[in-house]
Homo-oligomer: A and B are copies of this chain.
Amino acid sequence: MHSRVEAARVARLATAGADGRPHIVPICYALDGDTLYFAVDAKPKRTTNLKRLRNIGANPAVSILVDHYEDDWARLWWIRLDGRARIVTDDAERERALALLAQRYPQYRTAKPGGPVVAVAIDGMNGWSAS
């Protein structure tokens, strides 16, 4: 499961606000042991785009899905990572996370994310594979 998560390029992050409403966005991510990092771009975002950060502040529980879809359903698989998210406030940890993200995504080498970096401490991993 770990190598599939490492190989995938995109995941989907589910958060839930204090009101219990779930919210879902795609994320680009990097792993560091049992911690998953993702970053928010610096450019101004509409309020709706920061909902993920407000939700994490109110409720750190998150669920992250990496999956594979194709029309041949014998080849489907998914891996779900559950954990607790926090906004990274330590400068050294932020730089390390951005370096890991830049290793995986060339786009982050030329345009370093200026917004918050989020760390997810993964405390559960579940997977399913059709084959």
Given the interface pairs A107-B73, A126-B48, the reply to whether A16 lies near B21 with Cβ below 8 Å is: yes
- Could you tell me the dominant secondary structure of chain A's interface residues? strand
A14 in contact (CB, < 8 A): yes
- Which B residues touch A25, using CB under 8 A? 65, 78, 80
Given the interface pairs A16-B16, A61-B20, the reply to whether A9 lies near B71 with Cβ below 8 Å is: yes
* Bound Cα distance A20, B14 (Å): 11
| A4 vs chain B, min Cβ distance (A) | 14
- Chain copies in the assembled complex: 2
* Bound Cα distance A73, B67 (Å): 19
Number of interface residues, chain A, beta carbon within 8 A: 33
Q: A interface vs B, CB < 8 Å?
A: 9-10, 12, 14-16, 18, 20-26, 48-49, 59, 61-65, 67, 69, 71, 73, 76, 78, 80, 82, 107, 126, 128
